[in-house]
Chain A
Amino acid sequence: MKRNRQKRKAPSIATSSLPDIVFILLFFFMTVTTMKKTNFLVENTLPNATETEALYQSDGIIEILVGNPTKHNGIYSMDVPKIQLGNRLAEIDGVATYVLAELAMMPENLRKTAMVSLKIDKTVSMGIISDIKNELQKINMLKINYTTFQGDIFRDIK
């Protein structure tokens, strides 16, 4: 009998406030984070830089990713860097049309300050990047941003 009594008395932890705590966490994450726009179809380890400026606007930005295709894209060779525009891989001649199409979808007031964010894997060689820059010059999209991580720059070149 004594044992039974003790079992009944064991205190239960009040979990009624748990949802509230979790909801607070949830709202915190909802406010401080931004949605991922694209899935990476290419490897994308950005280089490091120290003299960076933050990209404050998130609407007027057109992203171009460059890197070696990741494994599950079987048709492309994994050693040749590819350009990712939106959610697909493309060749260099698709860049201009893509940027212009993105620009056309933007609200009018953002078009003037629109910027191209180049997210380029650090192992890519400059040839393909020069080609992209040439394409952007042709369509007069001159504001670009080499998107980087913040960190010690000399770590990359060793």
Chain B
Amino acid sequence: MPRRKGAPEVNAGSMADIAFLLLIFFLVTTTIETDAGLDRMLPPIEPPTEEPPVIKEKNIFTVNINKNGQLLVEEQIMDIKNLREAATAFLDNGGAPQGSPEYCSYCKGKRDGSSSDNPSKAIISLKNDRETKYATYITVQNELVGAYNDLRNRESQRLYGRDFVKMEAEYLNPETPSSVRDDLKDKVKTIQDLFPQKLSEAETSSN
């Protein structure tokens, strides 16, 4: 009865080698991390006929970066580590007097009359040199976005009890179910309107 022994076995000893080869191939050619970065919107090119809108000097927060990476903020030299604090103070100032239409009810700043009236009026103007290092530029961008995010988080915590940054990330994530996203959309929009991101970048100076 030699048939009872069954069909001859397939030699699977080299299967491991083949699989390892495939594995190594995928390890080498692929990357795990998803890209992340600072999202920015470039301004559209203005039609030449349009006159630039008049903006009060006190509503503009000027940041200049020179070619050595030094900062000039509101005409004063500033260390980059203090930038976030200064930008937050400017945005959160709410200088318009109580009763005026521009009065900011949720601001917790100093209410200094010589600084910004209202977060929706406040503009941060960033100017850099052609020789400025990209790393410095990103650091400044990061700190300015950080100032907005800090304030938005604060208001989001007050209104909805959770961080704005997390809400926005969940809203932007395509894996979030659409019912949750619709709910988040309004909340994200509300917070964004409280502190709209107005970050203007002027033409770079060439000297």
Chains A and B belong together in one complex:
yes
Q: Which residue, of A16, A126, A148, A156, has the highest number of chain B Cβ atoms within 10 A?
A: A126
Query: B35, A29: Cβ atoms under 8 Å?
Result: no
- Residues from chain A with a CB closer than 8 A to the CB of B136 are 156-157
Q: Any chain B CB within 8 A of the CB of A51?
A: yes
Query: Interface digits, B51-82 against A, CB 8 Å rule (1 contact, 0 not)?
Result: 00000000000000001010000000000110
Query: B34, A156: Cβ atoms under 8 Å?
Result: no
Q: How far is the CA of A72 from the CA of B27 in the complex (A)?
A: 24
Enumerate B30-46 residues with CB–CB distance to A below 8 Å: 30-32, 34-45
Q: How many A-B residue pairs have CB under 8 A?
A: 175
Query: A54, B169: Cβ atoms under 8 Å?
Result: yes
A117 and chain B: residue at smallest CB distance: B35
Query: A145, B39: Cβ atoms under 8 Å?
Result: yes
Q: How far is the CA of A48 from the CA of B26 in the complex (A)?
A: 27
Q: Any chain B CB within 8 A of the CB of A32?
A: yes
Total interface residues on B, CB under 8 Å, equals 57
Stretch of B94-102, B106-114, B138-146, B155-163 lying at the A interface: B138-146
Query: B26, A26: Cβ atoms under 8 Å?
Result: yes
- Residues from chain A with a CB closer than 8 A to the CB of B129 are 126
- Residues from chain A with a CB closer than 8 A to the CB of B168 are 53
Q: How far is the CA of A49 from the CA of B35 in the complex (A)?
A: 12
A128 and chain B: residue at smallest CB distance: B130
Query: A125, B130: Cβ atoms under 8 Å?
Result: yes
Q: How far is the CA of A48 from the CA of B139 in the complex (A)?
A: 8
A22 and chain B: residue at smallest CB distance: B19
- Residues from chain B with a CB closer than 8 A to the CB of A50 are 142, 146
The 4 A-B residue pairs with the shortest CB-CB distance in the complex, in nearest-first order: A33-B30, A127-B130, A122-B135, A19-B15
